[in-house]
């Protein structure tokens, strides 16, 4: 069994997904810096709502300011990317210290992947469900 000092120096990795976005997240002990695709969090996500969404698992597990987070995200839009990073952070935090942070994250619903995606367009339709207008005459 590893001691706590050994565990604190380790890097923890997890993958998060939402819609079409996929995020790779690394967590290391540190002052709490968050970078996304090499940019600081404030530089990548302009909307405060998205930044708040990313910080939710850290506040729930009471680890805000204890870990540096580095994430690379691809695909989708900013909202899907923020959700993917949140999912990745939650999964990585659940691995830290033999799963100490897992129960509050599980209760908050952060470990569940949001599987909602855009429905595909079907043939014979103008969209996923919309039909072409019927003309009697």
Interior CA angle at 130 toward 125 and 131, to 5°? Answer: 55
Confidence band for 3, pLDDT divided at 50, 70 and 90: very low
In a domain, 87, yes or no: yes
In a domain, 117, yes or no: no
CA 15 – CA 91 distance, rounded (Å)? 7
**Is residue 1 pLDDT above 50, yes or no?**
no
**Is residue 5 pLDDT above 70, yes or no?**
no
For residue 37, give the CATH number of its domain. 3.30.230.10
Express each pLDDT in 20-33 by its tens digit: 999 999 999 999 99
Overall number of domains in the chain: 1
Express each pLDDT in 60-115 by its tens digit: 999 999 999 999 999 999 999 999 999 999 999 999 988 899 999 999 999 999 99
Cross-strand bridge partners of residue 39? 36
In a domain, 47, yes or no: yes
In a domain, 129, yes or no: no
Ordered alpha helix ranges (H), the chain: 4-8, 41-44, 48-60, 78-95, 102-108
CA 70 – CA 33 distance, rounded (Å)? 8
Which of 46, 104, 120, 123 has the alpha carbon at shortest distance from 79?
Answer: 46
In a domain, 126, yes or no: no
pLDDT at 41: 95
pLDDT at 137: 83
Tokens of 78: 């900013």
Which residues span the domain enclosing 78? 4-108
In a domain, 77, yes or no: yes
Confidence band for 8, pLDDT divided at 50, 70 and 90: low
């Amino acid at each position: 069994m590893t001691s706590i000092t050994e565990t604190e120096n380790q890097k923890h990795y997890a993958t998060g997904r939402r819609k079409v976005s996929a995020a790779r997240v690394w967590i290391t002990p540190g002052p709490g810096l968050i970078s996304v695709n090499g940019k600081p969090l404030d530089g990548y996500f302009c909307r405060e709502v998205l930044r708040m969404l990313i910080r939710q698992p850290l506040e729930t597990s009471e680890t805000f300011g204890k870990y540096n987070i580095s994430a690379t995200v691809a695909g989708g839009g900013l909202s899907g990317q923020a959700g993917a990073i949140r999912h990745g952070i939650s999964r990585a935090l659940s691995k830290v210290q033999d799963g100490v942070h897992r129960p509050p994250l599980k209760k908050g619903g952060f470990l569940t992947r949001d599987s909602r995606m855009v429905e595909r367009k079907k043939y014979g339709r103008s969209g996923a469900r919309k039909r072409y207008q019927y003309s009697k005459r």
